[in-house]
Amino acid sequence: GLMIDSVLLLEGAMSIEKLQRYREQMRTELDKVVDFWQKYSHDTQYGGFFTCIGKDGKIYDQLKYVWLQGRQVWMYCRLYRTMERFNKPEILEAAKSGGAFLRRFARIPNSGSPWKCAFCLTRDGKALKVQRTIFSECFYVMAMDELARVTGDKDMQVEAAQMMDQLVHWVRVDPSGLGKPQLSGDTPVCSMAVPMMLLCLVQQLTEARSGEEVDKYREVGGWCVKQILQHLQMTVLPLYCLPVVSFLSGFLISFIYTFAIGHALEAGWFLLQYGLENGDQELQRTAVDKFMEIPFLTGWDKEHGGLLYFLDVDGYCPTQLEWSMKLWWPHCEALIAYLMAYSHTKEPALLERFSQVYDYTFSHFSDAENGEWFGYLTQQGKVTLDFKGGPFKGFFHVPRCLYMCEKILDSILNKQET
């Protein structure tokens, strides 16, 4: 008995030490990442942020992508609001500058809908490209709501809520305002990214609020969860089917039955969080077993390590050229997913998965020399695109992952220390 007790105590002490080490490294890494974007991304002349940033911080393209502008505003505000060490005037000023740029230029009134946002703007804010999807608008809502929480700007909060209503209308009632023609051969399948994104906004807009608005969003949240779970019901062999939108290409690809490992893992922690908030244990279990374990076990590259980008549910070769590459963001989502799952279940196997992803991620993506992370590696793990920011990589997945993991590690360690 004593022997077993002492072994358990030793294991406990070792895992506490390991968790403390992870927290220390992630904390340091987050500081470096924030420094990098503060140093290189701010456009002091026109407002907003540069995101096409080379490996050493040089700007190689001045275009401004609305997704990434919104995400950077949101991330700065979230850090400013919830982490004491980032409660600095320069972070708030940068967020306000990004918010003002978005409010001034993101919406394109001549698009047929007053709420439609551009996808890409010139440096001085002229609309250059528009997508027939809802994602620019989603990140606009996230940015405005989080900025309003920090500044107390009621008009901004109202604007975020109004745009959310429009998004829900486009998704659930009538998509014609998006400008996408209804084609007779088009399958009416909702890409999983759409309900995921709306669920993310529901969590954003309801945090620490109550009243009628919140009840309305709860209903939307329930609908989103049902839609996401439908992707499980199209089960094929051991995998499940996600008709997925390829985000790298920047336009909709027809519904090829491939799934993006990163989206499955991200959906996993979205659902786990929702299940925890609503006391739904079955949903919590499904989130871990079906949205984390299956994609992870199928998508982990046993030969070279790391997560593949796409897999085909029938075992064919995916047609996306980047299917076998290792991208930064699925690894970020895996870290959040497994640490969150471990913190609620205390299942050692889940901490093992976190460690496995952690070791690969920090040894392959993080750039010790110039700071920040590379985003795109070959299947063998060599850097193939060496920029730190691009049209789809901004100040979002890396800092959100480090921020959330640090917070989760704080809560695990605080419980164990008390």
Does 126 map to a domain?
Answer: yes
| Residue 254: per-residue pLDDT | 31
**Cβ-contact 223, 172 below 8 angstroms:** yes
Residue 104 CA to residue 379 CA, distance in Å, equals 41
Domain span holding position 93: 60-178
Model confidence pTM above 0.85: yes
| Residue 231: per-residue pLDDT | 82
| Residue 249: per-residue pLDDT | 33
Q: Which amino acid is at 219?
A: E
Residue 115 CA to residue 108 CA, distance in Å, equals 7
| Residue 376: per-residue pLDDT | 98
Does 120 map to a domain?
Answer: yes
| Residue 313: per-residue pLDDT | 80
Q: Summarize pLDDT for 359-373 with one digit per residue, the tens.
A: 999 999 999 999 999
- Which helix (H) or strand (E) is 195 found in, with range? helix 193-206
Does 365 map to a domain?
Answer: no
**Cβ-contact 34, 79 below 8 angstroms:** yes
The answer to whether the Cα torsion of 108, 111, 116, 117 is positive or negative is negative
Does 165 map to a domain?
Answer: yes
Q: Summarize pLDDT for 224-247 with one digit per residue, the tens.
A: 999 999 887 543 333 334 444 333
Does 412 map to a domain?
Answer: no
| Residue 190: per-residue pLDDT | 65
| Residue 15: per-residue pLDDT | 87
| Residue 4: per-residue pLDDT | 65
Does 73 map to a domain?
Answer: yes
Residue 259 CA to residue 366 CA, distance in Å, equals 26
Task: Copy the structure tokens of residue 198.
Answer: 């709306």
Does 258 map to a domain?
Answer: no
How many domains in the chain? 1
| Residue 184: per-residue pLDDT | 84
- From residue 132, alpha-carbon distances to 117, 118, 360 in Å are 10, 10, 36
Q: Summarize pLDDT for 267-292 with one digit per residue, the tens.
A: 999 999 999 999 999 999 999 999 99
Q: Strand 64-65 relative to strand 59-61: parallel, antiparallel, unpaired?
A: unpaired
pLDDT under 50: residue ranges of the chain: 234-256
